[in-house]
């Protein structure tokens, strides 16, 4: 006695859904591949965000080192004035050389930020003024402790060093804000892309299950 088709089977026959199983399976594979590509892009976004963190760390280290070297020039000239020991002049020359290298490196990290590039130009001018003052003092030679002390306590001369430090503080704060904004944007993009990819994966599995069931039904019906 022939088996009576079920209502569901009869619905599939009448709706002509039996032949869409393979295309549905193919669509499911395409969707799954798309989701995997999106997740791969997410990994790249996370790596890029990590790269920005590393860059900001380098910027902050340069800023801290520049501040230390500026103060070092001040301290070495004071040391020379107080002790007349020429070794302090060697330290001063070394500080000048390292200071120039650090500022150049910091500038190379900030080429894509117009605001920070302007601060670099300002920093260079201030540091040059600061170096000129202490170069003149060191050129006085031994026995000029009083002259050095008079310049160091001069409010106008001290303003230059404070201006350098204030500029470095502004650059530090600007870099921290920029990093925070980039991380916030990256986190939102990664979260949104992950949720979308997860939804596509779930839909692909559902579509794949339906496609497999329709394909199986079509083979049975053909047999």
Q: Where are the domains of the chain?
A: 60-193
- Mean of pLDDT values over 137-156: 78
Say how far apart CA 204 and CA 200 lie, in whole Å: 6
Q: Sorting pLDDT into bands at 50, 70 and 90, what band is 125? A: very high
Report pLDDT for 8.
46
Flag whether pLDDT at 123 surpasses 60. Answer: yes
Q: Is the pTM above the cut of 0.95? A: no
Return d(Cα 77, Cα 142) in angstroms, integer: 11
Question: Over 60: is that where the pLDDT of 186 sits?
Answer: yes
d(CA 134, CA 72): 11
Specify the pLDDT at position 36: 65
Which residue shows structure tokens 């791969």? 40
Calpha distance 159→73 (Å, rounded): 16
Q: What is the pLDDT of residue 16?
A: 46
| HSE, side-chain direction, 13 A CA sphere, residue 220 | 12
Separation between Cα atoms, residue 123 and residue 102, nearest integer Å? 12
pLDDT, tens digit (0-9, with 9 covering 90-100), for 37-76? 666 666 666 666 667 778 888 999 999 999 999 988 888 8
Lowest mean pLDDT among 14-18, 48-52, 102-106, 206-210: 14-18
Residues 82-97 pLDDT 10s: 888 888 888 888 988 9
Q: With respect to CATH, is domain 60-193 assigned 1.20.120?
A: yes
CA 42 – CA 19 distance, rounded (Å) = 36
Q: Is the pLDDT of residue 162 over 50?
A: yes
User: Does the pLDDT of residue 4 top 50, yes or no?
Assistant: no
Q: Which residues of 169-184 are buried (b: 16+ CB within 10 A; e: fewer)?
A: eebeebbeebbeebee
Nearest-10 crossing angle of helices 145-152, 114-138: 150
pLDDT at 221 over 70: no
Q: How distant, in Å, are the alpha carbons of 43, 74, 106, 133, 181 from that of 172? A: 29, 22, 11, 25, 14
Residue 222 has pLDDT above 60, yes or no: no
Residue 180, pLDDT above cutoff 90: no
Per the rule left: phi > 0, alpha: psi between -120 and 50, beta: everything else, 5 is beta
């Amino acid at each position: 006695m022939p088996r009576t088709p079920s209502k569901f089977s009869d619905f599939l026959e009448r709706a002509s859904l039996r032949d869409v199983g393979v295309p549905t399976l193919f669509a499911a594979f395409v969707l799954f591949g798309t989701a995997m590509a999106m997740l791969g892009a997410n990994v790249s976004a996370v790596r890029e965000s990590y790269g920005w963190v590393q860059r900001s760390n380098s910027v902050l280290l340069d800023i801290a080192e520049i501040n230390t070297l500026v103060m070092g020039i001040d301290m070495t000239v004071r040391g020379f004035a107080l002790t007349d020991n020429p070794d302090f002049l060697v330290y001063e020359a070394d500080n000048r050389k390292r200071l120039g290298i650090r500022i150049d490196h910091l500038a190379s990290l900030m080429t894509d930020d117009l605001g920070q590039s302007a601060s670099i130009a300002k920093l260079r001018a201030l540091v040059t003024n600061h170096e000129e003052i202490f170069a003149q003092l060191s050129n006085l030679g031994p026995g000029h402790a009083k002259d050095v002390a008079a310049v160091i306590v001069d409010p106008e001369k001290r303003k230059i060093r404070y201006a350098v430090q204030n500029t470095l503080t502004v650059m530090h704060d600007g870099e921290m804000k920029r990093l925070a904004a980039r991380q916030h944007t990256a986190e939102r993009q990664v979260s949104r892309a992950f949720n979308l990819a997860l939804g596509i994966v779930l839909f692909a599995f559902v579509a794949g299950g339906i496609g497999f069931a329709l394909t199986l039904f079509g083979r049975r019906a053909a047999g």
